Structure 1
Amino acid sequence: MTTRILLATRNPGKLDELRRIVVKRGLSDVRVLGLSDVEEFAEAPETGATFEENAVAKAYDAAKATGLPAIADDSGLSIDALGGMPGVLSARWAGRHGDDEANLRLVLGQLQDVPDERRGGGFVSAAAFVVPDGKEIVVRGEWRGTIIREPRGSNGFGYDPIFVPEGETRTSAELDPAAKDAASHRGKALRSLLPHLQEYAEAG
């Protein structure tokens, strides 16, 4: 029997990432759906002070509205020289939600005078798995690196083109999907949820 699990996102990159991770784990009886695969429902704004709060709220909303077990993640870029910002505001740092180009350019402008040795930062992802009966699991993944001065690469989204992970010379947007999945903040968080997805599927 196939177990349907909803990933509460409209971001095709995130959806593809979880599907790849599920396939690699061998969970052939788990089918990952996105928000475009279910009836539309009112989505609450992201008002949490932490990635974890936002992830849990999104997953609860999705599970309650659809009756499906739901995963939601909230992720963003934390830059040392900006005191950890843009953080939970990463997707709307320039003022409009989801304007990747404007967000990226604003960050580069804010770091213009910051020397290379102080341009450290990292991606953070909190992922929540909520089932309709109210059980929740929350995990966190981090990916440290450096913020470069000009974008490179086209394989990612968001801030990927200006982030070079530790131990790499390529940006996140220059990595192939398999390499990114293996190292990224979201990949780490989602893989931490896999045993719980497997347990849920086997119990169903």
Structure 2
Amino acid sequence: MQQLSDLVFVSSNTHKYQEAKKILSSFGLEIQFLKLELEEIQSNSLKKIALKKAKNAFLKCQKPVIVEDDGLFIDSLGGFPGPYSSYVFKTIGNDGILNLLTRNRKAKFVSVIAYCDNTIQKSFEAKLDGKISTVQKGKGWGYDPIFLLENVKKTFAEYDKKNNISHRFKALKKFSNWYLRM
């Protein structure tokens, strides 16, 4: 059986790590952090991207790893930016997304947690439905200031219990349930 502290969260995004650390600690898991820029394949599949990144991360650190890939999928834009969310955020940001939308603002966040060690490669996916606000609200990172929760009049950036309901929480919960039983 593996030591729980041997698990490494690999990302170039410290915000993701901080959220993952808080969420996983609520399930009794401790993680280490390795800040690495991982090659990201071009794919329409978050799962394929995350699994490839996990495999590359494992090869670099030779410890059990998890990586997270996520995306914002906007219905009226045919699921765009989806797996290209990070690039789109860096290039046009939240203002650019807001300028692209007119009526249908329905959207979802999708998170894929990918695990890799020397024998196992597995992924865990979760989503959270919502919509895109008309203006940015609150202080948060990424798309949080424009993502409105379904049936709540607050953006992720304004919602103090984000880590209890997010797409990342749901995917990490699935991972934790599996990991603690393996």
User: Is TM (by shorter chain) over 0.5?
Assistant: yes
SS of the residue aligned with 2:6? Answer: strand
- Distance in 2 (alpha carbons) for counterparts of 1:43 and 1:168: 35
1:4 and 2:6 matched = yes
- Distance in 1 (alpha carbons) for counterparts of 2:72 and 2:6: 30
CA contact (8 A) 2:67 2:113 kept: yes
CA contact (8 A) 1:10 1:34 kept: no
Give 1:60-75 correspondences, 5 Å limit: 60-75=55-70
State the TM-score, normalizing by the size of structure 1: 0.82
In structure 2, the residue matched to 1:84 is: 79
- Larger of the two Rg values belongs to structure: 1
Offset from partner CA, 1:22-64 (integer Å, 9 cap, x none): 221123xx3x12223xxx6x73233222100111011110111
In structure 1, the residue matched to 2:47 is: 52
In structure 2, the residue matched to 1:181 is: 163
SS of the residue aligned with 2:135? Answer: coil
Q: Percent identity?
A: 29
* Pair 1:163–1:2, CA change in 2 (3 A): closer
1:99 and 2:90 matched = yes
CA contact (8 A) 1:49 1:88 kept: yes
- Distance in 1 (alpha carbons) for counterparts of 2:181 and 2:60: 23
Q: Which structure shows the higher helix fraction?
A: 1
Which ranges in structure 2 are unaligned for 5 or more consecutive residues?
A: none
Q: Which amino acid aligns with 2:25?
A: V
Q: Which amino acid aligns with 2:178?
A: H
* Pair 1:142–1:2, CA change in 2 (3 A): closer
In structure 1, the residue matched to 2:114 is: 128
- Distance in 2 (alpha carbons) for counterparts of 1:174 and 1:56: 31
SS of the residue aligned with 1:65? Answer: helix
CA contact (8 A) 1:70 1:131 kept: yes
In structure 1, the residue matched to 2:33 is: 34
- Distance in 2 (alpha carbons) for counterparts of 1:195 and 1:64: 25
CA-atom RMSD, angstroms?
1.8
Which ranges in structure 1 are unaligned for 5 or more consecutive residues?
A: none
CA contact (8 A) 1:90 1:103 kept: no
CA contact (8 A) 1:68 1:131 kept: yes
In structure 1, the residue matched to 2:128 is: 143
**Aligned length in residues:** 180
In structure 1, the residue matched to 2:175 is: 193
Q: Which amino acid aligns with 1:63?
A: F
Q: Which amino acid aligns with 2:112?
A: A
In structure 2, the residue matched to 1:110 is: 100
In structure 2, the residue matched to 1:165 is: 149
What stretches of structure 1 move > 6 A for 4+ residues in a row?
none
What is the CA distance between 1:174 and its match in structure 2? Answer: 0.6
